Amino acid sequence: MAEPRISSIDGKLAEEFAVPSHVDEVKEKMVSFARLHADAGRRVVLITSGGTKVPLESRTVRFLDNFSSGRRGASSAEYFIDSGYAVIFLHRHRSLYPYTRMFLSVNMLDALQFRAGEGAPANSGEVVVDQQVLPNIAKVLRRYNEVKEERLLLPIEFSTLSEYLHLLKVAAQALSSLGSKAMFYLAAAVSDFYIPASDMPEHKIQSSDGPLQLSMKMVPKILSPLVKDWAPQAFVISFKLETDSTILIKKARRALDTYRHQAVVANVLDSRRGYVVVVTPETEAELILTDEDEKNEVEIEERIVSNLTAAHKSFIMQPVG
Ligand code: PMT
């Protein structure tokens, strides 16, 4: 298989975005994960999830953040695994995580209790889970353990934009050997603006210096080298988030025209849990949860993943042109 091309963004990445110290170690993990699952004939999806953080100072006290709870990425990871995929989960530190996401609203200590023996003092004995607080815990734990045993999930964390960009690049390189069997599902909320390392003050910005004026540079659109150079044979899905629904589809179409990838999942911030449109060069599929679906706790990610895994299957079978 041909080596990925070097793009002009590679130079910019190296110069203006600090390279994480563990990048080679992460790449090795990703390469062996890809090899393991390629040998097993499995498709692999790289999911990005959560928001990136952009520091304002090198010794960071303050930073700008992009909004994303990580729920879309974490729940999608579970549905991809159920559909036979292995998942690299590139996620923001402490954002929602597959399987444990279901218990986030529970205070751990409220879910535990002592099982005191006959005549023993209260608050003594073995600590057990209170099944009334966590009614689904056994089912979820069983599935989590199966996934762990079969090594179907590789979690990798990022916090800053620099970490995200470098780790996405090595992920693309690690998955390039899978060709069309690799999917990129870019659900993370990525900053469009940053302060280059060379322009950043080292120490905490002082409020005694008066009102703060920031000048930020545009982050290179990473979809471009990803599609053209780093993983040219892969199936690539980007997300488009807007708050104004009237421009959503136009923006999704523009992204497809610009980057020439396979699909955009378009969503509006307020309705994202119940309505998305999967836009491809030829089609627009509206995915909607009804009141009945919501009553039955159906999640829209199940529909998104079902739509995209079917499209990925056709993509793989397509003759290489
Ligand atoms: O996590 P949740 O709370 O469940 O919310 C899910 C979500 C709303 C965050 C998710 O569904 C979503 O829409 N994610 C994409 C948000 C986003 O960054 O949109 P954007 O329009 O700014 O970027 C569009 C695409 O370009 C994204 O796929 C992004 O990965 C990509 N991008 C962005 C910036 C950049 N410099 N390079 C990129 O390639």
Q: For ligand 1, atom 9, which residue shows the shortest CA distance? A: 68
What's the structural domain count of the chain? 1
Is residue 3 assigned to a domain?
no
pLDDT digits (tens, 9 = 90+) for 38-57: 999 999 999 999 999 999 99
Is residue 16 assigned to a domain?
yes
Mutation pick for ligand 1 pocket among 92, 95, 194, 240 (CB with most ligand atoms within 8 Å): 240
Q: Which CATH number belongs to the domain containing residue 241 in this structure?
A: 3.40.50.10300
Which ligand 1 atom is at minimum distance from the Cα of 75? 4
SS (H, E, C) the chain: CCCCCCCHHHHHHHHHCCCCCCHHHHHHHHHHHHHHHHHCCCCEEEEEECECEEECCCCCCCEEECCCCCHHHHHHHHHHHHCCCEEEEEEECCCCCCCHHHHCCCCHHHHEEEECCCCCCCCCCEEEECCCCCCCHHHHHHHHHHHHHCCCEEEEEECEHHHHHHHHHHHHHHHHHHHHHEEEEECCECCCEECCHHHCCCCCCCHHHCCCCCCCEECCCCHHHHHHHHCCCCEEEEEEEECCHHHHHHHHHHHHHHHCCCEEEEEEHHHCCCEEEEECCCCEEEEECCHHHHHCCCCHHHHHHHHHHHHHHHHHHCCCC
Mutation pick for ligand 1 pocket among 54, 101, 183, 190 (CB with most ligand atoms within 8 Å): 190
Which ligand 1 atom is at minimum distance from the Cα of 72? 4
Which ligand 1 atom is at minimum distance from the Cα of 191? 34
* Domain, as residue range, for 200: 8-205+212-317
Using the mean position of ligand 1's atoms as its centre, give its distance from the Cα of residue 270 in Å: 15
Mutation pick for ligand 1 pocket among 95, 218, 239 (CB with most ligand atoms within 8 Å): 239
pLDDT digits (tens, 9 = 90+) for 256-281: 999 999 999 999 999 999 999 999 99
Using the mean position of ligand 1's atoms as its centre, give its distance from the Cα of residue 188 in Å: 5
Query: Given this model, what pLDDT does residue 8 score?
Result: 74
Which ligand 1 atom is at minimum distance from the Cα of 51? 9
What is the radius of gyration, based on Cα positions, of the chain?
22
Query: Given this model, what pLDDT does residue 1 score?
Result: 47
Mutation pick for ligand 1 pocket among 12, 219, 223 (CB with most ligand atoms within 8 Å): 223
Q: What contacts 202, CB < 8 A, 6 or more positions away?
A: 57, 58, 59
pLDDT digits (tens, 9 = 90+) for 55-67: 999 999 999 999 9
Which ligand 1 atom is at minimum distance from the Cα of 226? 39
Using the mean position of ligand 1's atoms as its centre, give its distance from the Cα of residue 161 in Å: 13
What is the CB < 6 Å shell around ligand 1?
68-72, 186-190, 192, 219, 221-223, 238-241, 267, 272
Is residue 1 assigned to a domain?
no
Which residues in the chain show pLDDT less than 70? 1-7, 321
Q: Quote the ipTM score.
A: 0.95
Which ligand 1 atom is at minimum distance from the Cα of 220? 36
Query: Given this model, what pLDDT does residue 319 score?
Result: 78
Question: What is the token pair recorded at 45?
Answer: 């999806």
Is residue 106 assigned to a domain?
yes
